[in-house]
Amino acid sequence: MGRWGVDDREVMDLADESVGLLSRLLQADTTNPPGNETRAALVLQEYFVSEGLVPELVGDLPDRQNLIVRLPGTRPGPTLCLLGHTDVVPAEADEWTMPPFSGAVSEGWVWGRGATDMKCQVAAQAVAVARLARSGADFAGDVLYVATADEEVGDYCGARWLVQNRPDLMRCDYLLNEGGGWFSWADGVRVYPLTIGEKAFAQFRITTRGKGGHGSIPLHERNAVELLGRVICALADHDLPVIVSPFSAAYIDRLITDPGVRTRLEDPATARAAVRDLHRTDAELAHLIEPLLGITFSPTIARAGGTAVNVIPSHAQVDVDCRMLPEQTREDVIAEVQRALAAFEGRYDFEWIDVTDGNESPVPTVLSAAIDRVMDDLLPDAAVVPLHLCGFTDSRWFREYFPEVVAYGFCPFAAEDTETMGGREHAKDERIHVDDVPLQAIFFERLVHELLT
C-alpha cells in the first residue's frame, strides 16, 4: 500500500485527477471584484457531467453563478454539505514568480491565485464526490456539494443569496467549509485547528479634527494629521483586556511546549506581555495565539482631507479593522477605544463602519468525532483542536439561517506547516504542494463514509 492506506497506482491517478482539476480552476480568472465566478462553475459543471452527475447552476446574475450537486446515498440519513467559494482576491501579476492565473504545475507546486484560498478545497471536494459516485454512494443520507460565488466581498450572489433565496437547496445537517486544517509542529505532533466558530468584526472609523492652514506654519497640536498619528499609536499601544476561552487554552496547551510560557499566556494578567515576548522568540506562534485572546485593533486605512502638500487639512481619518470574540459586544469595543484615547477626549469622532455578531457551532459532535477518526487514520501524528477563526467565512450565513446546522472549517494540509506556508493566502506567489491536493480529496471521501455510514 502507498500513502494514506491507498494503492500507489491509485494515489498517482488521484493526484493527476485532483491536481488537474485544481489547475483548470486556477486558470479561470474569478477575481472579485468583479467576480466572473461562472467561469469556474463551468469548469466544475463539465467535470461533474463527465462523471454522470447532474450539476445545477443557480444565481442572481449570469456571470456570478453558484454550482450545486446533490449525491443521494443508498438509504435515508442526514445531509452533509461540502461548501467552498470560487472567487479570489486580486493579484498583482508583476509581483509573482509564475503568472497568477496560469494554474502551472512546477517543481512540486500548483501555482495560482486561489490555490490555498480556496480552490484546492473546491477541487478536492469535487473529486471526493465523484469518487463516491463511482463507488456506488454506499452511505446514508445526502452529500451536498456547493461551490459559491462572492465570498471575498460577500455583498450578493453567493452563500448569503442562496440561504436567503434558495433555502430549499441549502438546508443541511452538517457543513464543512474553509477555515481550519493548517498545522504547526509541537513536540513531534501536528496540531490542527478545527474552526468551530468565528470572531465578529466591529470595524470603526476615528476622525480627528483640527485647524486647517498653510503648511509653512506648523500648527502641531491643532494639526489633525499629527493628532491622527498619535491616535494610531495610542490604539496600537493599548493593552486590550484578555479572555482565554477553554478552546484557546486547549490550543495553547498543545502548541506551547514551555510550561512557563503556557502559564503566562493563559493568565489574563500576563498574557499580553507574554505575547510580546513570544513575538521576539517565535513570531509565527505569536501570530497564531494573539488573535485568540479577545478584541484586536488593526489600523488599515489612513486618509486626510488635504489636496496639496502645502495645505494642512482640517480633518483626518483612520479606519480600524477590529475583531472580537463571540462573547464580546460592541459596547466592549467602544469602552476600549475610549480607554485607549482618553488623552484625546473631545478631539476625535467615533463611528461604526460595519459590525457583525460572532458565531459558533457546538463541539464535540458526531461531525467533530468523525473528523478526529479520519485524521487519526490518515495522519496518526495529528491532534485536532477546536478553535475560533479570526476572520469570517460563508459558514456564518448557514449558522444564521439554519441555527441547527453543525458547521466547521477544516481542510487538512500535510506537506506544509504554517511556517513554510507563510500566510500565502491573499499574498503573492500563492501556491500549494502537489501532495496536499490528493490528501484533501481522500480526507473528504473518507469523512463522508465515517460520518454517514
HSE of 275, CA atoms in CB hemisphere, 13 A: 20
> Bridge partners of 319?
205, 301
CA 218 to centroid of chain Cα atoms: 45
Provide DSSP, 2-56.
Answer: -GGG--HHHHHHHHHHHHHHHHHHHHS--BTTT--THHHHHHHHHHHHHTT---E
pLDDT score, position 305: 80
| CATH code of domain 200-240+298-354 | 3.30.70.360
CA–CA dist 225, 305 (Å, integer)? 9
Domain with CATH 3.30.70.360 in the chain: 200-240+298-354
Q: Which triple of cell numbers denotes residue 343?
A: 488623552
Residues 6+ apart with CB under 8 A from 288: 184, 255, 418
CA–CA dist 33, 60 (Å, integer)? 16
pLDDT score, position 67: 98
Q: Which residues of the chain have pLDDT under 70?
A: 1, 422
Residues 6+ apart with CB under 8 A from 161: 59, 60, 150
pLDDT score, position 1: 62
pLDDT score, position 230: 96
CATH superfamily of 3-195+358-452: Zn peptidases (3.40.630.10)
Residues 6+ apart with CB under 8 A from 364: none
Provide DSSP, 159-192.
Answer: HHHHHHH-HHHH--SEEEESS----EEETTEEEE
pLDDT score, position 308: 87
pLDDT score, position 4: 82
Domain with CATH 3.40.630.10 in the chain: 3-195+358-452
Contact, 25 vs 86, CB < 8 A? yes
Residue ranges of E strands in 281-397: 296-304, 311-312, 315-324, 348-355, 359-360, 382-389
Per-residue pLDDT of 373-419, as tens digits, reads: 999 999 999 999 999 998 889 999 999 999 999 999 999 999 988 77
Q: How many angstroms separate the Cα of 128 from the Cα of each of 10, 111, 210, 373, 448?
A: 13, 22, 60, 18, 9
